[in-house]
């Protein structure tokens, strides 16, 4: 019974642990971005259109409307420009945050949630208003426990009015720093006050943020962006060095495959344990048949049919398996509930039992019950009554 119970516990807990890891990682990934591709400009590695390999590529603001119109599978295409270590001060303290500028939809694709106030909108962008949305850590550094909304901060001596504060978030990855340590300003103001100084043109941007319309259109969106960038900047669209893409969707799929493999492996270990428990039950019932041989002989001698003997031992075995399996399910779900009351580390959402794992445990338990019950029951039913009455236990 312990073997059966432990097998059920193993199946449920191991699958629940794999599911908790999958869900936890998914939440962490979504805290960084939702279905996002970050496109970085690089150098060409292939010759195209008579141009040499090794040519530096610079993305520009004027590329964005062309990319949006030429990429129907992409929901958003937007530029991003950032500067780190910007000298910033309020009336209370100073700091060196990362300052970044993009379009208002940045909050949606980069999972930026609002704690106070608001994020900048298109009116702010079009009118080039010097407004700022601050990360949760920068808010603490510049204002402490004070309400920063409506206050003025100075970024490299340019005055910006704080219009909102970001809600704190756990972030699993980044390409230019943690969002909680940033100040977000409208793209038009960012480009005017803090232009990209590396290339010759002031219209250049650090990177492009691209979101497909749906998961199904992900590959089409990526292909369309590469093709459009190749036409605009005269490089081969297959040249991944000219336009490198960090694809969060591909990363999520790869991690999902890893966690699914782990979950199936752990479930297989639990199923093996369950079958070993079933073999133990079968052996115990075989011993019971041997020890109760005279009892079986007496029952047969007074007219009990073989089916009655078979049903008796089959029922006894099923009861043992059902009780131990039910106990295992109770323990497993109880442990999941207790563990989930504790604080969970990052990337792990707790022990999350699924109905599929419970269904698999019940199905496997039924199979084990049939396997463990049938052979001992048939052995008991096939005993000759005369030989059974002559049998001496231990002889």
Which tens digit of pLDDT belongs to each residue from 279-332?
777 777 777 777 777 777 777 777 778 788 778 777 877 787 788 888 888 888
119 assigned to some structural domain? yes
Number of Cβ within a 10 Å radius of residue 342:
8
Co-location of 195 and 281 in the same domain: no
Co-location of 380 and 257 in the same domain: yes
User: Which pair of structure tokens corresponds to residue 315?
Assistant: 């029922």
First to last CA, the chain: 28
Co-location of 122 and 17 in the same domain: no
325 assigned to some structural domain? yes
62 assigned to some structural domain? no
Q: Report which DSSP code applies to 48.
A: B
136 assigned to some structural domain? yes
Co-location of 300 and 192 in the same domain: no
237 assigned to some structural domain? no
262 assigned to some structural domain? yes
> What is the model's pLDDT at position 388?
62
Question: Number of folded domains in the chain?
Answer: 2
Which positions of the chain have pLDDT values less than 50? 395
233 assigned to some structural domain? no
CA trace torsion 383, 386, 390, 391 (10° rounding): 0
Co-location of 191 and 267 in the same domain: no
Burial of residue 345, with CB atoms counted within 10 A of its CB: 0-12 exposed, 13-18 middle, 19 or more buried? exposed
Residue-wise over 31-68: b if at least 16 C-beta within 10 A, else e?
Answer: bbbebbbbbebeebeeebeeeeeeeebebbbebbeebb
**Rg of the Cα atoms in the chain:** 33
Q: Report which DSSP code applies to 292.
A: T
Q: In the listed set 176, 204, 232, which residue is the last one of a domain according to the structure?
A: 204
Rounded CA separation 169/347 (Å): 13
Global pTM value: 0.68
Q: How many residues does the chain have?
A: 395
Co-location of 268 and 150 in the same domain: no
Co-location of 16 and 138 in the same domain: no
Domain, as residue range, for 259: 2-28+253-390
63 assigned to some structural domain? no
Q: In the listed set 145, 178, 204, which residue is the last one of a domain according to the structure?
A: 204
Q: Report which DSSP code applies to 216.
A: G
Q: In the listed set 143, 173, 204, which residue is the last one of a domain according to the structure?
A: 204
């Amino acid at each position: 019974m312990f073997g059966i119970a432990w097998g059920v516990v193993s199946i449920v807990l191991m699958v629940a642990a794999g599911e908790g890891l999958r869900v936890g990682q998914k939440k962490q990934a979504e805290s960084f971005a939702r279905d996002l591709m970050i496109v970085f400009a690089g150098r060409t590695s292939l010759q195209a259109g008579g141009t040499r390999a090794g040519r530096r590529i610079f993305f520009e603001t004027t590329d964005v409307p062309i990319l949006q119109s030429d990429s129907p599978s992409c929901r958003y295409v937007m530029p991003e420009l950032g500067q780190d270590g910007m000298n910033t001060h309020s009336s209370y303290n100073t700091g060196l945050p990362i300052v970044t500028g993009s379009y208002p939809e940045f909050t949606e694709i980069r999972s930026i949630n609002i704690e106070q106030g608001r994020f900048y909108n298109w009116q702010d962008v079009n009118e080039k208003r010097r407004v700022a949305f601050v990360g949760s850590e920068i808010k603490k550094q510049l204002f402490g426990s004070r309400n920063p909304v409506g206050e003025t901060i100075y970024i490299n001596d340019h005055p910006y009015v704080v219009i909102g504060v970001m809600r704190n978030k756990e972030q699993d990855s980044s390409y230019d720093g943690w969002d909680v340590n940033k100040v977000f300003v409208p793209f038009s103001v960012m480009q005017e006050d803090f232009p990209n100084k590396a290339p010759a043109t002031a219209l250049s941007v650090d990177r492009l943020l691209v979101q497909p319309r749906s998961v199904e259109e992900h590959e089409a969106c990526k292909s369309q962006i590469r093709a459009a960038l190749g036409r605009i900047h005269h490089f081969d669209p297959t040249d991944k060095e000219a336009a490198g893409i960090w694809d969060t969707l591909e990363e999520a799929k790869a991690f999902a495959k890893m966690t699914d493999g782990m979950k199936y492996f752990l479930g297989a270990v639990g199923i093996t344990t369950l079958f070993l428990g079933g073999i133990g039950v079968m052996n115990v019932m075989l011993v019971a048949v041997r020890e109760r041989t005279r009892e079986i002989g007496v029952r047969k001698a007074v007219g009990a049919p073989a089916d009655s003997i078979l049903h008796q031992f089959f029922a006894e075995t099923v009861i043992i398996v059902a009780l131990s399996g039910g106990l295992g399910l109770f323990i497993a779900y109880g442990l999941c509930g207790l563990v989930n009351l504790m604080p969970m580390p990052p990337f792990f959402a707790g022990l999350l039992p699924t109905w599929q794992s419970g269904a698999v445990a019940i199905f496997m338990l039924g199979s084990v019950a049939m396997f463990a019950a049938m052979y001992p029951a048939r052995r008991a039913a096939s005993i000759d009554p005369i030989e059974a009455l002559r049998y001496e236990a231990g002889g």
